[in-house]
Amino acid sequence: MDFELKSLSPIQAASQVCDALLVLVPDASPDKRATGALPELVASVIRQGDLDSGVGKQLSCYRPVGFKSARVQLVRAGDGSAASVRKAVLAGVASLKQPGVKKLGLVLSLFGAGADAVRAAVQACAEASYVYTTTKPSAKARILQQVVVGVGQASAVRAGFDAGRALVTGVEFAKEWANRPANHATPAMLADAARKLGRQRNIKTEVLGPKQVEALGMGSFLAVARGSAEPLRFIVMQYSGGAKGSAPVVLVGKGITFDTGGISLKPAPEMDEMKFDMGGAASVLGTFAALAELQPAINVVGLIPSCENMPDGLAVKPGDVVTSMSGQTIEILNTDAEGRLILCDALTYAARFKPHSVIDIATLTGACVIALGGVRSGLFSTRDDLAQALYKAGEAAQDPCWRMPLDDEYAEGLKSSFADMGNVAGRAGGAITAAKFLQKFTAELPWAHLDIAGTAWKSGAAKGSTGRPVPLLLQYLLDQAAAGKARPAAAGAKKPRKTARG
C-alpha cells in the first residue's frame, strides 16, 4: 500500500480527488462558524441526529454537494485518542471495501490528531484491508492501494506517520510468513526471507546449518530437529544503526515452522494451526523489515532457531536426556514442550553479543492463552526496568502485554532425577514454569520473555496471523533509540521481583 501525508484543512478536504473520503468526526461539538462543504455537512448531520455519538458509528453519503469524491463516509472518532482512531478507521475502511475504492482520502483534520493517532490510523487502514493471497489464487487481492492522510499540519505528525508506515511493512511481513502453510514456510524458506532482508541497508544476515549448530554444542536445539526431514536453520541477523560498539538489543524468535508435538503427539483437531508456531520468528523478521525502513539509531540482533517438530523414528523420546549449549542437561519429559528447547540454546548464544537487553518471543504455552486470552501477551522478566519499558511500549503501540511472576518456587517442578532439569513441570502455572525454564539459560542477562501464544494468531472465521508483537517490539526499540539507553549488560542489574503486575 502507498501512504501519503498531506496538510489538508477541513475546507480543502472536500476538493480532494479520490474514490472515497473517510472523515473522522470527534464527539466534540463542531465549530458552528466554520464554512465549507465538509464542516457544513458534518454540522448538518449532527444537528439532524443522523450521526450517533460512539466510536465507530457511521453515516454514508453519496455524491454530497460540494465534494469531488462520490463517496463520503463519516465515522465517529470519540475523543480522538489513538485507540479511538484505530477503532474508527477499522470500521470505516471495512465499510468501504468496494471494487471501486482504490484510492482513499482519510481526513483527520476535524480534530488535532497527534502523531500517535496518525500512526494508529495508518496501521488500521492496512489491517482492515489486508488479504492473504500467496497460496489462495481464488482470493481477491487487496483493492485499496493508496491512502492520502489529511491532517492539520503534516510536519507536526511526520514521525508518527513514518512509524505507522514502517509498522505496516513489518506487520504484513510477519503476517505473510506466519500465514503460509508449513510446506511454504520451511526453515530453509525462512532463512531465504532473512537473507533477502540482509540486502537492506545496515542489515547483515548469517544462516547456520545442522553441522554448524552441532559444532556450537546446541544439543537441545538439535534434539528437536531430529525427527524432521527438513534440516534446521539458525538465523543470525544484525541491524547496525547505532554507534559502533554500543550494546545491541537481542530479539530471539521461536521458529517452529510446524509442531506436531513430536512423540507426545498433539490431538488432530486444530493441529493445522501449528503452522503459526513460528509466530515469534515471524515477529523478529517483521521487526527487521520495519527497521530497514525507519533506520533508527540503535543496534539490534535477531536470532531465530528454526526447525520442525515431527514424530519419525529418529525423533527424541520422552525421558531422553540432552545437553544444551550452556552445558546444562535436560530430561525431555514431554516432546511437545519443544519451543523452550530450541530457545534455551539461542539464549545462551545471545550472551556473546554482550547485549543491552535480550527479549525472546514465542508462541510457547497454551497456559498463557488460558491466563490472558487473546488480548495481552504474557510478559516475564528478571529486570523491573526492562519489564516496565516493554509494558509502556505495548500500551503506546496498542499491542499490550501483562507482567507475570517469576517466583523461585515455580521452578521446583522442573527438578529431575536424571538431569539438571526437566523440560516441563506439570499443568499448574504452565506459562510461568516455562519461563522459569528459560530463565535458567539467561544467567545475568537483562532478559525478558514474551509468551504470544494467545496473541500471535486468531482462530475461527477470522483465522490468521495478527502480526503481533511487531508493534510492541518496534516501539520498544524506538524508545531505546530516542533515550540513548544502550549500555553494557552488567550496568544497573536488579534482582527479579516477585509481584505479578507489570
Whole-number Å distance between alpha carbons of 20 and 1: 16
Question: HSE on the CB side for 323, CA within 13 Å?
Answer: 5
What is the rounded distance in angstroms from the CA atom of residue 89 to the CA atom of residue 125? 6
Q: Order across the sheet with 146-151: list the strands.
A: 2-7, 146-151, 103-107, 20-25, 71-76, 58-62
> What pairing do the DSSP bridges indicate for beta strands 71-76 and 58-62?
antiparallel
458 carries an active-site annotation: no
**Given 6, 195, 266, 497, which residue is catalytic?**
266
**Cα separation of 296 and 200, whole Å?**
14
CA nearest to 405, candidates 500, 497, 501: 500
Burial of 121 (0-12, 13-18, 19+ CB in 10 A): buried
Active-site residue 340, yes or no? yes
Give the burial class of 54: count Cβ atoms within 10 A of its Cβ; 0-12 exposed, 13-18 middle, 19 or more buried: exposed
Asked whether the beta carbons of 149 and 165 are under 8 A apart, the reply is: no
Name residues whose C-beta falls within 8 Å of residue 474's C-beta, 6 or more positions apart in sequence: 163, 166, 167, 170, 287, 290, 291, 294, 397
User: Is the dihedral angle over the CA atoms 491, 492, 496, 499 positive or is it negative?
Assistant: negative
Active-site pick, 76, 340, 383, 468: 340
Question: Within 13 A of 52's CA, how many CA atoms are on the CB side?
Answer: 5
Query: Distance between CA 83 and CA 146 in Å, rounded?
Result: 23
Active site residues: 266, 340
